Amino acid sequence: MWLKKYCLSCILFLLSFVSFSQNIDSLKLALKNAKHDSSKCVILKLLYKTENDNVLKMELVKQRLKIAEANLPNKNQTLSIFFIKQKAASLNNIGAIHYSQSNLTKAMEFYKESLKIREEIGDKSGIASSLGNIGIIYNDQGDITNALEYYYKSLKIHEAIDDRSGIASSLDNIGGIYENQGNIPKALDYYHKGLNIYRQISDDRGIAGSLSNLGTIYYNQGNVLKALEYFSSSLKIQQEIGDELGIANSLNNFGDIYSYRGDISAALDFHQKSLKIREDIDDKIGIVESLNKISDISLKKAKVTEAFVLATRGMQIAEELGFPENIKNLAQTLKIIHQKQNKYKEAFEMFELEIKMRDSINNQETQKAAIKKQLQYTYEKKELETKAEQDKKDAIAKAELKQKENERNYFIVGFGLVLILALFILRGYKQKQKANAIIITQKRLVDEKQKEILDSIRYAKRIQTALLPSEKYIDKSLQKLNKI
């Protein structure tokens, strides 16, 4: 039943790949027609992300690096920063290619060179990315203390700049360490937090990776149905986005599921398909894992010689890489093979190597380092939250004080204006009183003059009246004249 679903998923993947290929052709055409080096760098970055072949990826990133270096130094400050970032990103990508080829020394060299440039220009996002990549190498080398150091540094910066994709990636990395330490509840907590963020920002590659991580934990706990659910969801997304490395990992996971169910033939088929993809993309870490899985199946089929050849090949690569986890797993397989071959001395040597590698990965010191880093991170985060809360309170208090100062200033200004207005009113009132006094004085003078005039007129009238005969006297005089 599952095989039918798997085939259907493959068909869907091929259909989506047609559109994917058209997108690549458009990018190549855009690169050909691009007139500005800045545009070329952006297009080369996109092409790099769509390419799976390491040889072609290296050609693209070297071309981008060459363009960036050709434009440095640059008189234009904005362009100068842009091309410096392009150079740092290119070096980081070269490191990633070397890492995918399991060349950890070269990968570390380019990661650190990229980190140095990013620190010089204060590119926080780039710094966090480089720190995370360096942490991954330390983790692969079994240096858990340094791995945690770099993971938490990366996480703190991602949180400071609110880079949600970076936060999720850091959570996944830390979750992986807790998983290896056997602290499953803590690992699940980190994986689920990372998955939630990836879903919020619609990061398909991140979602697929987190689903795969969770599926692995549930598989190791014996919850095969839940593991199968997570693995299926992861594979579907990986096929849709053309993630060959992710597809190879998922095929490997399905091989484990079928092996657990006892379907050895189906398990072998999945592991061989996974190995083929990993060989095609030169994923040495994955190759070692697949060889170990196939060797284990050969043992179950009682093909001891074949199992020995596969495990020996895997061990040679693992020792070249120096990955404790892979060496431990292959030492365990070779121990069983030597026991079946009655080579007890060799079996004991593999047992000792297995224990040594296991202890280098999961010992008290690394567990203490994990706990210490977790506590330090929690403490520092709490301090930052406390500081942010105090800063908020200080800002509110400062704003309130400023408001009170403003209110006081407004009161002083208002009071001053009222006082000035009152002075103007008082001055006007006094001037009005003065004017009224003058008017009253003038009116008094006028009244006095009028009285004097009236008195003069009355006096003149009295004189006139005294001098002129009265009307009766005149009438009598006329009457006398008429009689004459």
In the chain, domain spans: 283-370, 438-467
Per-residue pLDDT tens for 265-310? 999 999 999 999 999 888 888 999 999 999 999 999 999 999 999 9
Output the pLDDT for position 10.
Answer: 38
Output the pLDDT for position 369.
Answer: 55
Q: Which two tokens stand for residue 60?
A: 């693209």
Output the pLDDT for position 450.
Answer: 75
Share of the chain above pLDDT 90, in %: 51
Instruction: Tell me the pLDDT band of 468, cut-offs 50, 70 and 90.
Output: low
Give the residue-averaged pLDDT of 378-397.
60
Give the residue-averaged pLDDT of 409-437.
78
| Residue keyed to tokens 């060799």 | 346
Taking CA atoms, 158 is separated from 84, 226, 360, in Å, by 21, 31, 29
Share of the chain above pLDDT 70, in %: 84
Q: Which CATH class is domain 283-370?
A: mainly alpha
Is the model's pLDDT at 388 over the cut of 50? yes
Task: Please tell me the distance from the alpha carbon of residue 23 to that of residue 28, in angstroms, as a whole number.
Answer: 9
Taking CA atoms, 157 is separated from 164, 165, 483, in Å, by 11, 12, 147
Chain Cα centroid distance, residue 427: 69
- Which stretch of 63-67, 78-82, 160-164, 282-286 has the lowest confidence by average pLDDT? 282-286
Closest CA to 173 of 201, 131, 215, 204: 131
Instruction: Tell me the pLDDT band of 403, cut-offs 50, 70 and 90.
Output: confident
Instruction: Tell me the pLDDT band of 8, cut-offs 50, 70 and 90.
Output: very low
Per-residue pLDDT tens for 194-212? 999 999 999 999 999 999 9
Cβ atoms of 175 and 190 within 8 Å: the answer is yes
Is the model's pLDDT at 434 over the cut of 90? no
- Which stretch of 110-119, 254-263, 374-383, 398-407 has the lowest confidence by average pLDDT? 374-383
Mean pLDDT of the chain: 83
Taking CA atoms, 322 is separated from 45, 176, 430, in Å, by 31, 19, 103
| Residue keyed to tokens 């004080």 | 401
Instruction: Tell me the pLDDT band of 43, cut-offs 50, 70 and 90.
Output: very high
Is the model's pLDDT at 364 over the cut of 50? no
DSSP string, 74-130: -SSHHHHHHHHHHHHHHHHHHHHHHHHTT-HHHHHHHHHHHHHHHHHHT-HHHHHHH
Per-residue pLDDT tens for 305-345? 999 999 999 999 988 888 788 899 999 999 999 999 999 89
Output the pLDDT for position 212.
Answer: 95
